[in-house]
A and B are shown apart, each in its own frame.
Chain A
């Protein structure tokens, strides 16, 4: 019987392969969308933890979160060093991490900060940054690079790097007169930290010391690196800063104080709340994607049903022969249902293979270009439940041609009508 089934299907292999293919594509899409959705959420949520408040120039809270943590987009404005010091010295504040953005190195953002970054910054489940090689910056032109920067550009310790003014890969203005030296490489975190070049705030200032309103110094007027070292390199402004509080109780009062700060228009946000806002925006897109992938699955199953039903007329003779050698109508119906289930099951298996191959292939690309870290997990309980549901749906779809074949073989009996 199984032999019969296999041989019969093999005889119609081109249709069967196409059916399996269309089902596997839809399964890949369905699970892929789910996987990417979770990956995006996971990588966004794990990018920052332990930070109570993020402060930046007055603007949208989502924008502030995106540029300060995810290096997406640019800050509308900077904030003054004085404001930073003011809140840094507040007695409720345990630590602050200043962040100065605006430059890049071959497409990777450059972030100016201080030692607090390596001491207090947390990601994932309160994990601390660690060095895989080297140490933190101590000299003016020292740089610490994220793991992805090192891997992608194949950088080792003591490499000289030139930082470009502005962001983007093709910046024409380069700070090539003041190269930085890689002194440390961070361990992979699966967060935007991996894609970042970290330098000291003083380094950032030094780079721009003789620049005027965004333009490089005229030829012959630029200061040598030795001269710069003698100067006072206190920052005048930074892009944003992160705050860790001694006690969470003060979150709301401090946030309100910052938002109503008289000296300068500032915005203070809580990362969790801003993330929630992000989810709300993404939800529509997610739902759209999910609806599309459901439709693709539906189309796949419908395609199978079409193939089974149109095959039925051609197979009428086959059914009559089987019937004449003793197969009952129930056996024939069973063959059809089994075929539907078999095609779907095989489609699902291939779909899973496609999915994992795609994930493995696309993971480095997503990581490099979007800073998206997709965890590759075995199918979750929910996925299996979903796949089981698909098989069940296929079984119900198989019932339609099976019922038709049952009726047909009852009426046709053993005579073969042509």
Chain B
């Protein structure tokens, strides 16, 4: 029996000042090594769900277990360090700090997480080597050798750097929030293939979020926000 990565039960969330409920999840279960596709149009509560997983927001009721830890019981700073220790994140666009080099962007989470720092390598040199290995595996060997500034990378290349950053230090959970929406169809598939194989190597669970259902066939496990969120907008 595989370990449970996400275990949400009866999670309700509403903004305190509006009182309107945004999210009501009777149940959401994700097991270790799953590659999960979470589909939903904008406004379906996707971002709220991700913020709950990342510990940015906290629900008032229900069980919110991530990797067996009850997120609600943690203080806000403990949630911040829990997030960086166990979750790697990539966004739709503009993932990188323009003033850092490619490698420096990748190793950025390591300076905030002891656990991932240790896993990525004992010394700084080892960590940079690990970053370079990931970047090469994701097909960025050339840009690395040329020491291209991140601002000169294409969107697809930037997404791969962000993926390398999410993967470094083998976090248990990778959350990819619309990482392919700015890419064209060919690039989307090759990016996903790379992401899958690297997640497999790292032993990470992947939570892939997109409004684009055409990608869902590549995943074994699928959720639709419209099904799991019983609040209808």
**B76/A328 in contact, CB under 8 A:** yes
Which of B47, B76, B112 is in CB contact (< 8 Å) with A415? B47
Main secondary structure of the interface of A (DSSP, over half): helix
- A413 near B: Cβ within 8 Å? yes
State the CA gap A323–B93 with chains docked (Å): 15
**B57/A326 in contact, CB under 8 A:** no
User: Contact flags (1/0) for B107-127 with A, using CB distance below 8 Å?
Assistant: 011011100000000000000
- A236 near B: Cβ within 8 Å? no
**B76/A321 in contact, CB under 8 A:** no
Which of A325, A413, A416 is in CB contact (< 8 Å) with B108? A325
- B95 near A: Cβ within 8 Å? yes
Report chain B residues within 8 Å CB of A10: 99
CB distance from A239 to the nearest CB of B (A): 71
Report chain A residues within 8 Å CB of B57: 413
**A414/B99 in contact, CB under 8 A:** no
- The size bracket of the interface on B is 20 to 34
**B109/A413 in contact, CB under 8 A:** no
Report chain A residues within 8 Å CB of B95: 321
**B80/A328 in contact, CB under 8 A:** yes
Q: A326-B80, A326-B112 are in contact. Are A11 and B93 (CB under 8 A)?
A: no
State the CA gap A238–B121 with chains docked (Å): 92
CB distance from B51 to the nearest CB of A (A): 5
**B51/A326 in contact, CB under 8 A:** no
State the CA gap A416–B179 with chains docked (Å): 13
- A1 near B: Cβ within 8 Å? yes
Q: A10-B99, A11-B98, A416-B93 are in contact. Are A326 and B54 (CB under 8 A)?
A: no
- B83 near A: Cβ within 8 Å? yes
Which residue of chain B has the shortest Cβ distance to A317 in the bound complex? B94
Which residue of chain A has the shortest Cβ distance to B77 in the bound complex? A328
- The size bracket of the interface on A is 20 to 34
Report chain B residues within 8 Å CB of A414: 50-51, 54, 56, 89, 91
State the CA gap A356–B114 with chains docked (Å): 47
Report chain A residues within 8 Å CB of B91: 324, 414-416
**B113/A326 in contact, CB under 8 A:** yes
- B35 near A: Cβ within 8 Å? no
A7, A321, A410 interface centre (most CB from chain B within 10 Å)? A321
**A11/B51 in contact, CB under 8 A:** no
Report chain B residues within 8 Å CB of A11: 98-99
- A327 near B: Cβ within 8 Å? yes
Which residue of chain A has the shortest Cβ distance to B89 in the bound complex? A324
Query: From residue 228 to 259 of chain A, which have CB atoms closer than 8 A to chain B?
Result: none
State the CA gap A11–B96 with chains docked (Å): 14
20 residue pairs bridging A and B, Cβ less than 8 Å apart: A8-B97, A11-B99, A322-B108, A324-B54, A324-B91, A325-B108, A325-B165, A326-B80, A326-B109, A326-B113, A413-B54, A414-B50, A414-B56, A414-B89, A415-B51, A415-B177, A416-B92, A416-B94, A418-B93, A418-B94
Contacts A328-B76, A329-B76 given; 16 further ones with Cβ under 8 A? A1-B111, A7-B99, A11-B99, A321-B97, A324-B89, A324-B91, A325-B84, A325-B89, A325-B112, A325-B165, A328-B80, A328-B81, A330-B77, A410-B56, A416-B93, A416-B94
